[in-house]
Copies of this chain bind each other. A is one copy, B any other.
C-alpha cells in the first residue's frame, strides 16, 4: 500500500538504496546471479548464457560477487580445471528484488523501449 506517493522515504532509506546499488551496479552482476538460478554452472556455461559478456568482465564480476558473498566458487579438480559457481543463501534473498524488476519491465517496457532500444 505504500506507493511512492503516500510515502516519503527517509535519508536512511536513501542510504539503503545506495548500498544496494553499490553492490549490484553494472550491467552484469544481476544477470550472473540469474544465470545461476537453475543450478550450478561452470565458467563457460555462465558465459554462454549471458549474450554479450566477455571473459574479462565475467571474470572480474565473479570475483566481486564472490568477495561480497553473493556467489560461491568451488574448484573441483585442480588439474582438469573444473570450477563451479553457485549462489549463496545471501544471494537467494535477491529473488524478490529480481522479481520486481521483471514485473516492472513487463508492464512498462513498451512505453520506453519502442523508442529507446
Contact = CB atoms under 8 A, between A and B. Distances in A.
Contacts of A13: 34, 102
Given A21-B27, A25-B27, A92-B3, A112 B69 contact: yes
A80 interface: no
Nearest to A8: B38
A28 to B, nearest CB: 9
Instruction: Say whether chain A's binding surface is mostly helix, strand, loop, or mixed.
Output: helix
Contacts of A18: 27, 31
Interface string A1-25: 0111101110001101111111101
A84 to B, nearest CB: 16
A95 interface: yes
A31 B16 CA distance: 10
